[in-house]
Amino acid sequence: MSEQDVKIEIDRLTDLLNEYAYHYYVLDQPKVSDAEYDQLLRDLMGLEQDHPALKREDSPSERVGGEPLDHFKKVQHDIPMLSLSNAFNEEELRDFDRRAQQGLGHTPTYSCELKIDGLAVTLKYENGRFVQGATRGDGTTGEDITSNLKTIASIPLRLKEDVTIEVRGEAFMPKRSFDRLNEAKEKNGEQLFANPRNAAAGSLRQLDPKIAAKRNLDIFIYSIGQVQDKEIDSHHEALQYVESLGFKTNDQHKHCETIEEVITYCEGWLDKRADLPYEIDGIVIKVDSLKDQEKLGFTAKSPRWATAFKFPAEEVVTTLQDIELSIGRTGVVTPTAILDPVSVAGTTVQRASLHNEDLIREKDLKLGDKVTIKKAGDIIPEVVNVLTEQRTGSEKDFHMPTECPECESELVRLEGEVALRCVNPKCPAQIREGLIHFVSRNAMNIDGLGERVITQLFSHQLVTDVADLYKLKREELLQLERMGEKSVDNLLTAIEASKENSLEKLLFGLGIRFVGSKAAKTLAQHFETVDKLKEATRAQLEDIDEIGEKMADAVVTYFEKPQVDELIDELKELGVNTTYKGPKPISQEENDSYFSGKTIVLTGTMEELNRNDAKAEIEALGGKVTGSVSAKTDLLIAGEKAGSKLKKAEELQIEIWDEARLIEELKR
């Protein structure tokens, strides 16, 4: 064939196979047999191999997975992917409806959808072509998993219209795929996935897309993030529009005129959910009108116009075999129930927290008891009660020890506390847990230093405190199990990079009692250096907003210890930053900033500024940064490829700046 003939044939096969895939994976209406589809795909891949320049971006051969990646790149979401508030019963659903009516001044209609138990992702298309897919991450920053998402056959690589759009959806593993995956893992002697949600998340975070391609994942699109040149008035209209573009949506969504219809819909799925070919963990209820959504707006963590009805926790009976004790980084002794394995809400449960000694006494727990357990919020296993009527007389009383199970120091109960505590500062368990906390995401955020690696380092006596992390040698790390040259180099790079963290990360990582990540930032902003903080009195600390008496006392007590002085000095010598690097908040009295008291929206792509940094600087100057444009918005800052928010701001005659104007104002 001539080059032109080859191109015509590649185009024909690509279009034909994409059409067949759409009917099979999205509409569930196969047009050809699997054998015929596979043969056509082999024909196409043969032509593409001989003529790689003619391969199209939307070729179905992209579904088999490309070359392995070294790492996932970070992605800043143009619009935050917020979590939803929860409603656990009819009364809380009615409260949600009441708040919506109060905020709107009228009764809204609602859109109800099944809450798929998977991994939230966002998909971007430019002129109809799939260009990027990312995880939700922390809501503001996710990971670029485009290569893995291309392996999901129900995600179109090219839309039916040349539209620029961002959609959100839930990637999931069907029950059948999950069962097959675990059967294969069991045959190979590998650890099984606990549930389909974990399996889906684990599959999409594989650096090798070929692994994701074998997992047979699926997706339902549930919303539009942003779209250019398209006016949409309601959520159910948005779902109809994305369906017309070739996306797969869940066919069980329902438009409800009243909260009574919403409640009936939710209750109807209590018994039916087990019959679905995928896992769900509730129902999502959204105010249907997009104008109403905009008027209701957002809290800091979630939209006011949506909530998730969570199904009542499933309760099952099992046997309490033992009670195991663990020591946390603050010395608190936490008892954990060791149970006969039992399936609860799709997960095999063998352990459940008992919180403290008082709870064990309150529930009258004995070893060997039959107990009822459930997952609080379908997540955390807990013991509900003891089936005392089923006791046989062979059950045994449990007594909390008087000595620490790790270091044999005396356990004490401090005044006003219910927990037993080991107060030995050299307790190995406390040191190990403190190290795990120090490297965690909200603290020093050292990639590659998870619990497994920390435990290895500690057991091999390579680290005894946080300063030792900065003394690790490459040759020492290479001796550890499952630590190859590449992972060791990446780990050392991450450790070195953490030295540049701003002071608040270090303060939170040190694990000062009562000091969470927010308080750590407040302290860092106020004192600017760790040396000034060390010198602060209780009175000076209590003068700071958000710092109460207990926290002030804990900070002073912590820095009075001679070993803390030695640790801080050692960290400084090792090159760890001990100063605050972020913007310093300005008091209301001295704040003459343009941003003070104003509501600001950021949209589009910034070239010079990181969006999180821009937000932090604006907030430090007294501005409030929100995610949606409304009549209450004072200023829109538009970067490159600004879409519907820019158009809306123009319609509302809101002041609009570009990035250069923002940078100019921030420098004043």
Report how far apart, in Å, the C-alpha atoms of 318 and of each of 199, 321, 337 are. 25, 9, 11
**CB-based contact 238:172 (threshold 8 Å):** no
pLDDT digits (tens, 9 = 90+) for 383-433: 989 999 999 999 999 998 999 998 999 999 877 777 888 988 789 999 999
End-of-domain residue from the set 310, 327, 360: 310
pLDDT digits (tens, 9 = 90+) for 596-623: 888 999 988 777 777 777 887 887 787 8
Residues 222, 356 within the same domain = no
Q: What is the mean pLDDT of the chain?
A: 88
Q: Return the H-helix or E-strand segment holding 371.
A: strand 370-376
CATH code assigned at 541? 1.10.150.20
Residue 209 pLDDT: 87
Residues 541, 564 within the same domain = yes
In the chain, the amino acid numbered 604 is G
Residues 617, 488 within the same domain = no
Q: Which residue has the higher pLDDT, 463 or 513?
A: 463
**pLDDT band with cut points at 50, 70 and 90 for residue 593:** confident
Number of domains in the chain: 6
CATH code assigned at 44? 1.10.287.610
Check: pTM over 0.95? Answer yes or no. no
Cα angle value 9/12/14 (rounded, 5°): 105
Rg of the Cα atoms in the chain: 28
Q: Is residue 100 part of a domain?
A: yes
Q: Is residue 587 part of a domain?
A: no
In the chain, the amino acid numbered 601 is V
Residue 598 pLDDT: 87
CATH code assigned at 352? 2.40.50.140
Q: Is residue 124 part of a domain?
A: yes
Q: Is residue 586 part of a domain?
A: no
pLDDT surpassing 60 at residue 588 = no
Beta strands of 288-365 (E only): which ranges? 306-310, 316-327, 333-344, 347-353
End-of-domain residue from the set 248, 281, 310: 310
**pLDDT band with cut points at 50, 70 and 90 for residue 379:** low
Mean pLDDT of 338-348: 82
Residue 26 pLDDT: 80
User: What gap in Å lies between CA 397 and CA 112, rounded to an integer?
Assistant: 49
Residue 349 pLDDT: 86
**CB-based contact 147:114 (threshold 8 Å):** no
Domain that holds residue 650: 599-666
User: What gap in Å lies between CA 150 and CA 133, rounded to an integer?
Assistant: 9
CATH code assigned at 136? 3.30.470.30
pLDDT digits (tens, 9 = 90+) for 104-149: 999 999 999 999 999 999 999 999 999 999 999 878 888 999 999 9
pLDDT digits (tens, 9 = 90+) for 203-212: 898 888 888 8
Mean pLDDT of 496-520: 92
Helix (H, G, I), strand (E, B) or coil at 234: strand
Residue 67 pLDDT: 66
Residues 176, 140 within the same domain = yes
Token pair, residue 123, equals 């998909």
Residues 280, 350 within the same domain = no
Residue 518 pLDDT: 79
pLDDT surpassing 60 at residue 590 = no
Token pair, residue 218, equals 């699926």
Residues 395, 320 within the same domain = yes
Query: Which of 665, 667, 668, 657 shows the shortest CA–CA distance to 606?
Result: 657
Residue 665 pLDDT: 85
Q: Is residue 634 part of a domain?
A: yes
128 sits in the region (left: phi over 0; alpha: psi -120 to 50; else beta) called left
pLDDT digits (tens, 9 = 90+) for 238-296: 999 999 999 999 999 999 999 999 999 999 998 888 889 999 989 999 999 999 999 99
End-of-domain residue from the set 444, 477, 498: 498
Mean pLDDT of 555-561: 92
DSSP structure string for 96-161: HHHHHHHHHSSPPPEEEEEEESSEEEEEEEETTEEEEEEE-TTSSEEEB-HHHHTT-TTS-SB-SS
| Residues noted as catalytic | 115
Residue 66 pLDDT: 63
pLDDT digits (tens, 9 = 90+) for 146-188: 999 999 999 999 999 999 999 999 999 999 999 889 888 877 7
Residues 289, 195 within the same domain = yes
In the beta sheet, which residues pair with residue 410? 403
Q: Packing angle between helix 175-187 and helix 196-204, nearest 10 degrees? A: 80
Residue 493 pLDDT: 95
Q: Is residue 102 part of a domain?
A: yes
Residues 226, 300 within the same domain = yes
In the beta sheet, which residues pair with residue 338? 322, 351
Residues 92, 178 within the same domain = yes
Q: First-to-last CA distance in the chain?
A: 66
Residues 172, 283 within the same domain = yes
Other C-beta atoms lying within 10 Å of the C-beta of residue 366: 18
User: What gap in Å lies between CA 426 and CA 465, rounded to an integer?
Assistant: 10
**pLDDT band with cut points at 50, 70 and 90 for residue 65:** low
Residues 479, 546 within the same domain = no
Other C-beta atoms lying within 10 Å of the C-beta of residue 373: 22
User: What gap in Å lies between CA 668 and CA 662, rounded to an integer?
Assistant: 10
Token pair, residue 225, equals 């993030």
Residue 414 pLDDT: 78
Q: Is residue 239 part of a domain?
A: yes
Report how far apart, in Å, the C-alpha atoms of 268 and of each of 86, 89, 263 are. 18, 13, 8
Residues 473, 516 within the same domain = no
Q: Is residue 411 part of a domain?
A: no
Helix (H, G, I), strand (E, B) or coil at 663: helix
